[in-house]
Amino acid sequence: MAALRGHWQLLLLLALVFGLWQTPAIIPLKILIVFLHEFAHAAMTVLTGGEVISLSVSANQGGEVWSRGGNRFLILTAGYLGSLLFGMALLLAALRTHADRTVMAAFGALMILVALLYVRSGFAFAFCVGTGASMLAIARFLPRDVNDLILRVIGLTSIIYVPYDIFSDTIARSSLQSDARMLAEEFGGATIMWGGLWLIISLVVIWFAVQRGLGPSSNIAIPKLR
């Protein structure tokens, strides 16, 4: 009961995301999470000395990164686990700091920068620039609590999407040309093995974050009516 009282808002957001998961209303959010997945690939490429040729997301919630060089093992591994860490960082920034507007603005600026540097397709460019510009406007003109709420939604969605996507793409449908399939083809092992390992790691990381990051209460204070 204490957990319910202290975190009922997060639980409500979680229920809303699940409830709307198969509806068109949640599609832009899903595409944003795909962007985080592809950005994690691109970031690891650059961090390991490689070059990003292009990054793309599509209206049907697909995405890809073309690159050369870098550490291929880390690049393939970074997609799911990197987007999970990014989602956790957004959620914890919302829960444990007052820098919501700064984080929102930085996120928006990052999306626009990635679009200018790496995005070549029309839809992906419009999505990244449009979403980034919207984030900058939200950070500039809307209250901190609104920024906080939006960061919570993005962070929560990314966190729950990662294990779901890992299971769906690498275990339930292991024949798909997923990151785990490519890792198995290039480094050995089975697609299910790599997917299962990533799933276990993601669940452990989520559990650790919940245990250590949420604290006794994560609710946004609601002003009392007079």
60-111: pLDDT as tens digits: 999 999 999 999 999 999 999 999 999 999 998 998 889 999 999 999 999 9
Q: What is the mean pLDDT of residues 13-30?
A: 87
| Residue 203 is assigned to a structural domain of this protein | no
Residue 187 CB neighbour total at 10 angstroms:
11
| Residue 222 is assigned to a structural domain of this protein | no
| Residue 79 is assigned to a structural domain of this protein | yes
Task: Share the mean pLDDT of the chain.
Answer: 90
* Higher-confidence position of 51 and 23: 51
Q: With 0-12 CB in 10 A as exposed, 13-18 as middle and 19+ as buried, what is 194?
A: buried
Flag whether pLDDT at 8 surpasses 90. Answer: no
| Residue 66 is assigned to a structural domain of this protein | yes
Exposure string for 42-52, b = 16+ CB within 10 A, e = fewer: bbbbeeeebeb
| Residue 139 is assigned to a structural domain of this protein | yes
If one counts the domains in the chain, the total is 1
pLDDT for position 76: 95
* Higher-confidence position of 116 and 157: 116
Which spans in 167-190 are helix H?
179-187
User: pTM for the whole thing?
Assistant: 0.91
pLDDT for position 226: 47
